A and B are shown apart, each in its own frame.
Chain A
Amino acid sequence: MTTDDERMERLLKQSLLPTSTQPGATLQRDLWPVMLERLDEASVALPWFDWALLAAVVVWLAIFPRAIPVLLYHL
């Protein structure tokens, strides 16, 4: 590392302080309730593949309406 690099490093350390010296350095609240919300949302949300499959079935039934009783029989 050259003198220029060392000077740059010093300047950077003067410009940005370690986060441990700043407000909010430690977590101020329990994030578990937020995590739970996220888990609940995910359990309700359907993956894109399921939506694509559903769309394919709807299109198929629109083209071949006679297939509806067959589908219902198999459900």
Chain B
Amino acid sequence: MPTVEQPRELLQRFSRGEVDAFEELFRLHQGEVYRWILRIVRDPAIAEDLTVETFWRIHRSHARFDSARSFEAWARRIASNAALDYLRSRPRETELPDDLPQAPQPDPGIAQELRQKTAQAFGRLPPKLQIAATLALIEEQPYKEIAEALGISTGAVKLRVFRALRLLRKNLQRQGVEP
């Protein structure tokens, strides 16, 4: 997420609960928060809902915000938690859609059916592993940024990604698919 400089005064006004300052921060950051959430949930409509939910949580917690810290990092952390709550609550059957867009030039060695089964099996991974693997491998976000957003160490992110890959392979093998 690119850093947007905010005047310290704006952040102080926000932490005092001024709605004007909140609106200004909302307008400055809604796009970035939306994109971050979209990377996790992969559905524009749900990402919009969760963007509003994230800012609602931000608004409620304004008094806890330290205006000396980065608003972006704080917002990204709250957005990640909102997305994680969503992934935990959604029904398992309605995970990733079957008609996911594929790579423009897919590897001819990898069959369409295998890609679909992989995407579906990925959607059934535990949300914490899924988020780490999505952000690190598919979205190629820096590990440091992912770690900050999830509130864990860089090493823990790498471990989650590793566990996600292992579990994904195991799940595919259980379905009779040899990746």
Chain A positions near chain B (C-beta within 8 angstroms): 1, 4-5, 7-28, 30-32, 34-35, 38-39, 42
Contacts and interface: CB of A to CB of B under 8 A. Distances in A.
Interface of B: 19, 23, 26-27, 30-31, 34-35, 38-39, 42, 44, 47-48, 51-52, 55-56, 59, 96, 100-103, 106-107, 110, 114-116, 118-119, 122, 133-134, 137-140, 162, 165-166, 168-169, 179
A42 to B, nearest CB: 8
B59 to A, nearest CB: 7
A21 B30 CA distance: 20
A29 to B, nearest CB: 8
B26 A12 contact: no
A14 B42 contact: no
Contacts of A30: 27, 30
Contacts of A28: 44
Nearest to A34: B52
A45 to B, nearest CB: 12
A9 B137 contact: yes
28 contacts: A4-B179, A8-B168, A11-B110, A11-B118, A12-B122, A12-B137, A12-B165, A14-B103, A14-B106, A14-B115, A15-B115, A15-B118, A16-B42, A16-B96, A16-B100, A16-B119, A17-B138, A19-B35, A19-B39, A20-B139, A21-B101, A24-B38, A25-B35, A26-B31, A34-B52, A35-B56, A39-B59, A42-B56
